[in-house]
Amino acid sequence: MRITRVRATPVAVPYRTDEVWAFGRRRGLVSLLVEVDTDEGLTGLGEAAAYPSADAVLGALRSMEPLVVGSDPLRIEQLVQRIDVVGTYHHTGSSSPAAAAVETACWDLLGKSCGMPVAGLLGGRFRDRVEFFHYVAAAEPGEVRAEGARAAGAGARVCYLKVGADDLGTDLARLAALREGAGPGMGIRVDANEAWSAGAAVRAVTAMEEYGLELVEQPVSGRNLPEMAYVRSRIRTPLLANEASWTRSSQFAVLREGAADVVSADQQMDGGLLNLKRSAGICAAAGVPVVKHSLGELGVAVAAAVHVIASTPNFRCANQGYGALLTDDIVKGDFAGPLENYSDGCLDVPTGPGLGVELDAEKVGKYAELYRESGAGFSFHDPLALSRAPALPKR
Ligand SMILES: [Mg+2]
């Protein structure tokens, strides 16, 4: 089998409510749907988060095309090496979502060519359902309380709330409202996106612990592992690495420094599904659970991650998902997309060949049109962020 063409379609899908974090705001997400065509008539699906922008991903995809077209998509390791080493994409980061989307499409092709779901090719299903947290947007306390109640009503076990964008009093008021709405049994995960200095982090997390926290995500800079280890030693809540742990080598460094209790990993940021599985292996070797991070993804990327998570034992915590925020999706059926498609915060592992999802042509057309009309309004780039958070971290 040979790859004949790589097609990419940027789509913009709105959220129910804005996503606000320490240095940005989005009213929806942009993803690039990647279709890899072959000479045998099979097409593989992948999806790249528009990180840092859709144009950057499109540029990376165009530049990878000569390395990919003509290759055998079933020799996945070889193809990834060609992109990484021959294409000099081995320093991952902003180029990685494009490579990850191509790699994911190859897994879809491999599964389709042999009639197996991707989870079956990655070790087989360890679990039949994959759990995600309920994303509670950082809004007015009344809205946060209502969203907590919606999460509990939907059977979620963990809620996720961004902190650090506002003053501590505002964060605590939201947290109190969330606990009230979601009830005493709900796990609450807070994510500061590196907003605090070490001293501010210890003070803030200590104050927040009154409301009960499941995990605190990236309280301080991810580029200062001794500070992370210091904060970890001063708080009772387990510390989840995120900005510190984008790649396998950075995950290894986090674990070596004792900088986190749990490590997050993302197939978008480190070249694809096999590397996500390898990240979990690095964490397993260190005796640490791993969490799937998300930059905001639609059904293709969610399905891809679900196959890895389902076949890998140490994804033991609720994973990052956007079901509570998204209004719609671009895959057929009831997979991923909005909250109604989740059951008790979980998605069933698709059982069809490959990723087991198909694009809904009508929805792809609708959201590609929305991207063309107003894609910039859905990007990571928030023009107001500089006035709101001119300098981080906070003391
Ligand atoms: Mg995070």
Span from the CA of 291 to the centroid of ligand 1 (angstroms) = 11
How far from the centroid of its chain's Cα atoms is residue 263's Cα?
A: 13
Span from the CA of 178 to the centroid of ligand 1 (angstroms) = 19
Entry pTM: 0.96
End-to-end CA distance of the chain: 57
Per-residue confidence (pLDDT) for residue 89, from 0 to 100: 85
How far from the centroid of its chain's Cα atoms is residue 126's Cα?
A: 21
Is residue 289 a contact partner of residue 317, using CB atoms and an 8 Å limit?
yes
DSSP structural state of residue 262: E
Per-residue confidence (pLDDT) for residue 51, from 0 to 100: 93
Is residue 228 a contact partner of residue 253, using CB atoms and an 8 Å limit?
no
What does the alpha-carbon distance between residue 75 and residue 1 come to, in Å, rounded to a whole number? 10
DSSP lists the bridge partners of residue 45 as 35
Per-residue confidence (pLDDT) for residue 93, from 0 to 100: 77
Per-residue confidence (pLDDT) for residue 381, from 0 to 100: 78
Span from the CA of 232 to the centroid of ligand 1 (angstroms) = 16
DSSP structural state of residue 339: G
What does the alpha-carbon distance between residue 189 and residue 261 come to, in Å, rounded to a whole number? 14
Per-residue confidence (pLDDT) for residue 390, from 0 to 100: 54
Per-residue confidence (pLDDT) for residue 387, from 0 to 100: 65
Starting at the edge strand found earlier in the chain, the sheet holding 134-136 runs: 134-136, 158-162, 187-191, 215-217, 239-241, 262-265, 290-292
Span from the CA of 161 to the centroid of ligand 1 (angstroms) = 10
Span from the CA of 257 to the centroid of ligand 1 (angstroms) = 20
Per-residue confidence (pLDDT) for residue 388, from 0 to 100: 63
Span from the CA of 245 to the centroid of ligand 1 (angstroms) = 10
Span from the CA of 381 to the centroid of ligand 1 (angstroms) = 17
Percent over 90 (pLDDT), the chain: 90
What does the alpha-carbon distance between residue 394 and residue 164 come to, in Å, rounded to a whole number? 8
Per-residue confidence (pLDDT) for residue 294, from 0 to 100: 97
Residues of the chain with pLDDT under 70: 386-391
